[in-house]
Amino acid sequence: MCGRFTLRVPAIDWGQLFFANMNRGDELSVGSPRFNIAPTQNVKCIHHDPHSDGLTAANYRWGLVPAWAKDIRIGTKMINARSETLDSKPSFRQAFASRRCLVPMDGYYEWAQNSGSKSKQPFLIEPSDGRVKFMAGLWEENQQLEDHEVIRSCTIITTPANATTVQVHQRMPAFVEESNRSDWLDPRCRDLAELKMLLRPAKEDLLKLTAVSRHVNSPRSEGEQCVLPLDDATSGGQQVLRFD
């Protein structure tokens, strides 16, 4: 599962990895740091431009709305796609074959059950090296919705969790390594079995976990308070899970 994430690093910093292949005139807006990106909000989506040989980076609605869908609300049920079934699920099969993308992030959130309590403790899971990573995704265009212009949307692909993140959730985003990004984004790569091999749990030392404030629980919350660590892993006097 990946239901919230952050992108605090300026686009100019992570976008330079793709500038050489970007279409002429494409721009990555500076924008504000994002501390609590939630489903149905816009996210940065990098993919092959079907009208040229270059890449494009644009804001897409998070939550895939397939081309055949007549109700935009279907997207809230498709914020994630399981890597194991991409080539068999009708909602994802065609996009997996030719509309793959990357979604930049520098942290994501998961919630773990507090021992002896009904409440859940949010954790920020972020790259150990502090660098932006790129989550594998799929994108779609929908022109079927009444009273809407073309809806461009995306979903984030997940894999089984690694030994670090399984402590808080059984699933994690699939990160595409730098050496595999060209193949992942190239719609001419049609060997789906080989592409699925790129979607595997991240190395255990790639990510670190930090207990953070419940301020992040609301998708309306924004700002640095979302990512601040809890002092001594306590919140409101209640002991929370610790992973040392």
Q: What is the pLDDT of residues 34-64, one digit of tens each?
A: 999 999 999 999 999 887 778 888 899 999 9
pLDDT band at 19 (very low <50, low <70, confident <90, very high): low
Model's pTM, two decimal places?
Answer: 0.90
**Mean predicted lDDT score pLDDT of the chain:** 88
Query: In the CATH hierarchy, which top-level class contains the domain 5-239?
Result: alpha beta
Q: Could you give the percent of the chain with pLDDT greater than 90?
A: 70
Q: Which of 45, 101, 110, 140 is an active site residue?
A: 110
Inform me whether the pLDDT recorded for 242 exceeds 60. Answer: no
What is the structure's pLDDT at 21? Answer: 61
Mean pLDDT of 67-75: 91
Round to whole Å and give the CA distance between 9 and 30.
Answer: 10
Domain ranges of the chain: 5-239
Better-predicted residue by pLDDT, 34 or 13: 34
Mean pLDDT of 108-129: 90
* Strongest mean pLDDT among 13-22, 139-148, 188-197: 188-197
What is the structure's pLDDT at 20? Answer: 57
What is the structure's pLDDT at 110? Answer: 97
What is the structure's pLDDT at 66? Answer: 93
What is the structure's pLDDT at 181? Answer: 93
What is the structure's pLDDT at 30? Answer: 57
110 as an active site residue: the answer is yes
2 as an active site residue: the answer is yes
Better-predicted residue by pLDDT, 244 or 116: 116
